[in-house]
Structure 1
Amino acid sequence: MTMQRRDFLRNGSAAALAATALQGAKAAARPRLRLGLIGTGLRGQNHLELLLHRDDVDLVALCDIEPEMLKAALAQVDKAGKPRPQVFGENGDAQAWRRLLELKGLDGVVIATPWEWHAPMSIAAMQAKVAVGCEVVAGITLQDHWDVLRTQLGTGTPYMLLENVCYRRDVLAVLQMVRAGLFGELVHLQGGYQHDLRAVKFNGGDPARPYGGGAEFGAKGWSEARWRTEHSVRRNGDLYPSHGIGPCAMLVNIHRGNRFTRINSFASKARGLHEYVEAQGGRQHPNAAVKFSLGDVVTTTLACENGETILLQHDTSLPRPYSLGFRVQGSKGLWMDVNHSVHVEGVSPPHQWEPFEKYGQKFDHPLWKKYAAAAEGAGHGGMDFFVIHAFVEALKADAPMPIDIYDAVAWSAITPLSEQSIAEGNQTLPFPDFTDGQWKTRKPIFAFDDRY
């Protein structure tokens, strides 16, 4: 893949466009944006609510093939007192999103569809010169990620991965602490997606109860159970890495003076989903015979060019409280989110934790100081406000996206690479350099001020 990437960049015009993409467009700022939304399911409706509350966004188009979800989205529009957007997909046409992208004067699109649609939709949007704000998971296969990257570099169209955990309040405070040198030189980080999703992956097919209440998935399920569960049936790897790796990558300046160099993954046995089906539907339920490929706990380790190691865990099939399991450890101390604690050598009592709260207040990020009130009530503790705000503000300013194409493909490519490592007997694999060496000179830009 590396040689293909180099061959691509040897083309003179493509190289020039790549340089433009790295520097960011310099056109005049736009005071308002005309945006579309592809995918009006429960996640899409979260984004829709935030877009409707902005006075610098005109929502001009919605697309979904599920009538119930389109109806709910239009009810949101009506409740907000905004003009009804043009609607696509109400006739069940799975390609209706392509017509949405043909609208004249469309500045950008937010994509909140099942994962397998993210790459083709993003590629088509960028080819149409429509900026992309894409929900997490940039593609399914490793080739998907190369295709998304090449399209962005070849067109220069802005692309942002909508990873909201990068904007979590404690995560941004820890970013400030790291920048202040509180933990010394970073050595090791941990994160992951540790979230009991059994009631997300199975339900009774009732639109009024999208979470739990049955053992159905696929055509008989509803909401995420319609499509997400199938990935657990046929795939074994870290299926959802960006919540954990995004903040870790940000903290160690991946693609901005650092990069991932190697990766390996291990998967435990698969028991949790099978037992859940039996508990919900009984041993005679047809889905009790389904063999799930996804290991209950998938552990992935990454090595970085500057010597740091990062450990990720994907743990979604067993009973457990929600946690992303962050740990940021340096030569002078560490933070762990599970116990909400900090230890700083020479400041904290020897061998004792201190509560995170006082550090969080002292190092509260300027973004949260400025927008905490606006983010109140937004999804996921306010994080959803910040990720949509960042996409809109960067697009208006024609500035580089704070979570850019290189971040998107590297964070998301952990999934197919982890699948490959597990399938090959837990082999350690080289991590692709999606920047083709440009990580050495790129500068950190993420959340340096209170803009986005």
Structure 2
Amino acid sequence: MNKNRRDFLKLTGLSGIGFATAQTAFAKPSGFIPHPQAVQKHIQKFNMSGYAAPKLPVVRVGFIGLGNRGMAAVERMNKIEGVQIKALCDLREEKVSEAAKMVAPQGHQPKTFHSNPDAWKKLCEMTDLDLIYIVTPWALHTPMAVFSMNHDKHVCVEVPAAKTIDECWQLVETSERTRKHCMMTENCCYDFSELLTLNMARQGFFGEITHGEGAYLHNLQEYVFSKDRFYQMWELEELSKRTGNLYPTHGLGPICQVMNINRGDQMDYLVSMSNNDFVMGEMAKKLAADDPFFKPFVGRHFNGMMNTSTIRTHKGKTIMVQFDVSSPRPYSRIQLVSGTKGTALKYPEPARYSKDHEWLTAEEYKAVEEKYTPPIIKKIGESAKQVGGHGGMDFLMDWRTIDCLRNGLPLDQDVYDAALWSSVGPLSEWSVAHRSNSIDVPDFTSGSWKTNKPIDISMKEGGNTKVLL
């Protein structure tokens, strides 16, 4: 065959049953996974990159999902000027009551929804809401976000925003049609170190950036098997049914912002490989021996311990993203930025920067930090640390989002970022299942990446929202 691998995949991806028959034998990790990219002739209805919605001096917010992260999000929003917490929803009535009691001292009197699995729809149908904050299991993210936008609401949705390529397109098409923001709450883009690196990149410290590395390496064995940590064991369900880079956005998001992905460059194709599971299956067996609750998980094909996905961009640059939640290793998102004039590496901490063969000394690092610390950290960094949330980055994210909405400014993350960063999950699943063949990455911007402007967190405008400590 004279076609190269990528041309072959393009052709066979459209050839239906013949392709499936030929490739099924290769799909050892989790059975046959069909090509996730149907022919998508998307015509952009409206470019949401750089879009500034009308000002909202008061942002009326409703929350769906009040588990670990949801409750923390309510607590953070309770400390931001110009926010009215108008509605709360969770299946568990006690969680709704807890959140309502938390916000009462600030004068919030939210409507409450609970118990009924469809109660969230009643919240979305409220006419006195501007923003819906979705913090639910992954499978509900896209349906809830789409429903919310269709009911005239902006959306903040937890990571990943979508599980399938079709869901990614649903988010894009709905946001463009309704002209409602769909921001994935990728908090790691607001980590102090990542913001410093982004500002340094904007100021030319690294020269032209040619390569980036991100990851989510976090030993979650005890968490995912905990009956208390993840309501209805939804994350264990995900890890026991899929094989790939299932949680790419924490490591990928900041790298994409630094490399201007969707805003000057675009992902071209991806290759992904996973090793086997050597831990989770055995843990399920061990727990099931003493507790029948875990018996349904025995014998399942758990996600491999390490997934490594590599991406090449249209401008010939590369990105590596890793995912491992079962190895006993220190936490890391890597965060390596490599350019023609310099390098950054966050993990293992402390973060380091280099201009040549050696890392900067402590004194040199301090000088760089003083020179390049971005305005958002100078303004509310200390307040963010007091409020908390992964060291303050969660609060920075929420404060910045509300400040942009109140001042009619574009959000730092748009629907194209939500779709693209999330798409690495299903694309990696397909590649793993097909002997690490490459697969094209959809262009959710429909070509507008060539002219979209890079994000700007210089805070030349806005920044007038107070922190309520």
Pairwise TM-score range, normalised by the shorter structure: 0.7 to 0.9
Question: What SS class does the counterpart of residue 72 from structure 1 fall into?
Answer: helix
Q: Offset of 1:448 from its aligned partner?
A: 2.9
Gaps of 5+ in 1: 10-14, 212-222
Residue 244 (structure 2) pairs with residue 266 (structure 1): no
Asked if the contact 1:202/1:225 (under 8 Å) is kept, the reply is no
| Alpha-carbon distance between aligned partners in 1 of 2:58 and 2:300, rounded to the nearest angstrom | 50
Residue 311 (structure 2) pairs with residue 311 (structure 1): no
The answer for the alignment partner of 2:120 in structure 1 is: 97
Residue 191 (structure 2) pairs with residue 191 (structure 1): no
The answer for the alignment partner of 1:412 in structure 2 is: 422
The answer for the alignment partner of 1:443 in structure 2 is: 453
1:288-367 to structure 2, matched below 5 A, reads: 289-339=298-348, 340-345=350-355, 350-351=357-358, 354-355=361-362, 356-367=365-376
Q: 1:229 to 1:443 in 2, by over 3 A?
A: same
Q: Offset of 1:362 from its aligned partner?
A: 3.1
The normalised TM-score by structure 1 is 0.87
1:176-187 to structure 2, matched below 5 A, reads: 176-187=199-210
The answer for the alignment partner of 2:112 in structure 1 is: 87
Q: 1:224 to 1:200 in 2, by over 3 A?
A: farther
Quick one: which amino acid aligns to residue 307 of structure 2? V
Identity %: 32
Alignment partner for residue 423 of structure 1, among 413, 433, 458? 433
The answer for the alignment partner of 2:137 in structure 1 is: 114
Alignment partner for residue 171 of structure 2, among 144, 148, 151? 148
| Alpha-carbon distance between aligned partners in 1 of 2:399 and 2:197, rounded to the nearest angstrom | 21
Q: 1:75 to 1:22 in 2, by over 3 A?
A: same
The superposition leaves residues 178-213 of structure 1 with CA deviations (integer Å, 9 ceiling, x where unpaired) of 12222222121111101111122012x3xxxx35xx
The answer for the alignment partner of 1:5 in structure 2 is: 41
| Alpha-carbon distance between aligned partners in 2 of 1:117 and 1:273, rounded to the nearest angstrom | 25
The answer for the alignment partner of 1:75 in structure 2 is: 101
Aligned residues: 420
| Alpha-carbon distance between aligned partners in 1 of 2:207 and 2:108, rounded to the nearest angstrom | 52
Q: 1:411 to 1:236 in 2, by over 3 A?
A: same
| Alpha-carbon distance between aligned partners in 2 of 1:281 and 1:354, rounded to the nearest angstrom | 52
The answer for the alignment partner of 1:24 in structure 2 is: 51
| Alpha-carbon distance between aligned partners in 2 of 1:162 and 1:424, rounded to the nearest angstrom | 31
Quick one: which amino acid aligns to residue 34 of structure 1? R
Quick one: which amino acid aligns to residue 228 of structure 1? E
The answer for the alignment partner of 1:12 in structure 2 is: none
The answer for the alignment partner of 1:399 in structure 2 is: 409
Question: What SS class does the counterpart of residue 227 from structure 1 fall into?
Answer: helix
The superposition leaves residues 320-363 of structure 1 with CA deviations (integer Å, 9 ceiling, x where unpaired) of 221111111112221111243535336xxx54553455533432
Asked if the contact 2:134/2:157 (under 8 Å) is kept, the reply is yes
Q: Offset of 1:373 from its aligned partner?
A: 2.4
Asked if the contact 1:135/1:162 (under 8 Å) is kept, the reply is yes
Quick one: which amino acid aligns to residue 389 of structure 2? G
| Alpha-carbon distance between aligned partners in 1 of 2:239 and 2:91, rounded to the nearest angstrom | 24
Alignment partner for residue 59 of structure 1, among 63, 85, 91? 85
The superposition leaves residues 380-403 of structure 1 with CA deviations (integer Å, 9 ceiling, x where unpaired) of 000111111122122223332210
Question: What SS class does the counterpart of residue 5 from structure 1 fall into?
Answer: coil
Q: Offset of 1:60 from its aligned partner?
A: 0.8
Q: Offset of 1:23 from its aligned partner?
A: 5.1
The superposition leaves residues 268-307 of structure 1 with CA deviations (integer Å, 9 ceiling, x where unpaired) of 1101212334565658865472323300000000111222
Quick one: which amino acid aligns to residue 266 of structure 1? M
Question: What SS class does the counterpart of residue 116 from structure 2 fall into?
Answer: coil
| Alpha-carbon distance between aligned partners in 1 of 2:174 and 2:181, rounded to the nearest angstrom | 11
The answer for the alignment partner of 1:276 in structure 2 is: 283
Q: 1:26 to 1:131 in 2, by over 3 A?
A: closer
Question: What SS class does the counterpart of residue 240 from structure 2 fall into?
Answer: helix
The answer for the alignment partner of 1:216 in structure 2 is: none
Question: What SS class does the counterpart of residue 41 from structure 2 fall into?
Answer: helix
Q: 1:291 to 1:147 in 2, by over 3 A?
A: same
Q: Offset of 1:58 from its aligned partner?
A: 0.8
Q: 1:372 to 1:397 in 2, by over 3 A?
A: same
RMSD, aligned CA: 2.1
Quick one: which amino acid aligns to residue 143 of structure 2? P
Q: 1:158 to 1:113 in 2, by over 3 A?
A: same
| Alpha-carbon distance between aligned partners in 1 of 2:289 and 2:366, rounded to the nearest angstrom | 46
Asked if the contact 1:159/1:401 (under 8 Å) is kept, the reply is no
The answer for the alignment partner of 2:155 in structure 1 is: 132
| Alpha-carbon distance between aligned partners in 2 of 1:125 and 1:162, rounded to the nearest angstrom | 16
Gaps of 5+ in 2: 1-36, 464-469
Larger RCO of the pair (alpha carbons < 8 Å, separation 6+): 2
Quick one: which amino acid aligns to residue 264 of structure 1? V
